[in-house]
């Protein structure tokens, strides 16, 4: 029976993982379009749209929201294929199986949060959680796609200080993303249109948006300074291009983000520029994840290497006792 189960080679599975990563990024872009076009309540019910699973009688906002739901269906299929393929891949790898399972589980959570966002009238907390979950799924997808391309023994290994320096970008980038979602939740794009009333964040009174935007800018500047410092450090150590390339991409995207951020704020946050800002933010997050993956594992320190070479393993001790 088990002999009839199809098997997948490493190259084929790597393509499936890459396709899953690509569509997971696309759903972030379409989700941002839903919000910024005021189509978040284009389908005011969930999981049905105006009482139907399939309907053609929709407004433009309804079609945008419904189209995003259809893309979610494609995302679900590829996430399931990535999870199933990890178990059909030969040779089997446990790390790929665990990462593969995270994708459909994350999509299930994402669908649930999307439904709750609609049912609770696009309340800021649910919408922010919806976006944050999408970024977490992207992290798992990047790890899966990266690991699927190489065997465990071929994973890159850079100097410890360089790896740790690159890893500092991850929490900083995550925090900048979070503060950015807070700014959006306090801004002029609630995700609805017309007479639909959506609650906005106002924890700092009428100055909430300006307050959050300025702090978002400060943290983004800090991330940019740290990214440039890590980039210079990588060049000084003559790190391989496989690491310097994503670090260069991070710096360039942050520079572009800064320009777009200033322009959109001076122009009172037009929807088109905000969408570009979200797209660039997601690409920056992907580039940071790419950099962390390219940095690889921590190299074994000389002290640890000497200890491992001088400390006999259990098998060596056993051999010494049983050898004549």
Q: Dump pLDDT digits (tens) for 117-171.
A: 988 999 999 999 999 999 999 999 999 999 999 887 666 678 999 999 999 999 9
Both tokens of residue 118? 């609609």
DSSP assignment letter at 324: -
Would you place residue 303 in the very low, low, confident or very high pLDDT band (cuts 50, 70, 90)? low
pLDDT value, residue 313:
44
52: helix, strand or coil = strand
Stretch 196-201: mean pLDDT, rounded? 86
pLDDT of the residue at 43: 79
pLDDT digits (tens, 9 = 90+) for 219-241: 999 999 999 999 999 999 999 99
Phi, psi of 322 (to 5 degrees): -100, -10
Distances (CA, A) of 223 to 7, 174, 215, 226, 258: 44, 10, 12, 5, 11
Q: What is the Cα–Cα distance from 190 to 211, expressed in whole angstroms? A: 18
Stronger pLDDT, 54 or 186, i.e. the higher one? 186
| pLDDT confidence of residue 41 | 81
pLDDT level of residue 91 (50, 70, 90 thresholds): very high
User: What's the confidence (pLDDT) of residue 1?
Assistant: 45
* C-alpha span between 22 and 88 (Å, rounded): 21
Contact status, residue 247 vs residue 229, Cβ threshold 8 Å: no
Nearest to 8 by CA among 100, 122, 134: 100
Helix (H) or strand (E) holding 161: helix 160-167
Predicted local confidence at residue 311, as pLDDT:
47
Mean pLDDT of 192-221: 90
Across 33-69, b (16+ Cβ under 10 Å) vs e yields bbbbbbbbbbbeebeebeeeeeeeebeebbebbbbbb
Contact predicate 95/147, CB 8 Å: yes
Confidence class for position 307, pLDDT limits 50, 70, 90: low
């Amino acid at each position: 029976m088990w002999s009839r189960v199809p098997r997948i080679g490493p190259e084929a599975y790597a393509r499936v993982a890459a396709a899953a990563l690509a569509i997971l990024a696309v759903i972030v872009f379409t989700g941002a379009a839903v919000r910024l076009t005021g189509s978040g309540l284009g389908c005011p019910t969930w999981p049905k749209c105006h009482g139907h699973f399939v309907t053609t009688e929709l407004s433009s906002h309804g079609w945008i929201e419904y189209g995003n739901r259809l893309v979610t269906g494609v995302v679900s299929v590829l996430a399931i294929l990535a999870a199933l393929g990890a178990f059909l891949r030969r040779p089997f790898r446990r790390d790929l199986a665990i990462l593969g399972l995270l994708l459909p589980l994350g999509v299930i959570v994402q669908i649930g949060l999307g439904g709750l966002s609609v049912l609770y009238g696009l309340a800021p907390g649910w919408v922010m959680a919806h976006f944050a979950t999408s970024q977490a799924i992207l992290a798992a997808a990047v790890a899966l796609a990266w690991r699927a391309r190489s065997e465990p023994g071929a994973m890159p290994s850079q100097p410890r200080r360089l790896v740790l320096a690159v890893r500092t970008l991850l929490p900083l980038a995550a925090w900048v993303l979070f503060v950015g979602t807070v700014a959006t939740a306090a801004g002029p794009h609630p995700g609805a249109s017309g007479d639909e009333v959506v609650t906005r964040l106002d924890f700092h009174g009428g100055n909430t948006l300006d307050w959050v935007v300025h702090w978002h800018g400060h943290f983004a500047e800090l991330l940019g300074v740290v990214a440039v410092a890590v980039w210079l450090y990588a060049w000084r150590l003559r790190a391989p291009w496989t690491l310097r390339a994503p670090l260069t991409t991070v710096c360039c995207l942050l520079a572009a983000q800064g320009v777009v951020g200033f322009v959109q704020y001076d122009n009172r946050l037009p929807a088109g520029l905000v969408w570009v800002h979200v797209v660039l933010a997601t690409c920056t997050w992907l580039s940071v994840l790419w950099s962390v993956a390219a940095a690889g594992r921590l190299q074994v320190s000389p002290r640890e290497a000497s200890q491992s070479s001088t400390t006999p393993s259990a098998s060596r001790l056993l051999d010494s006792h049983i050898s004549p």
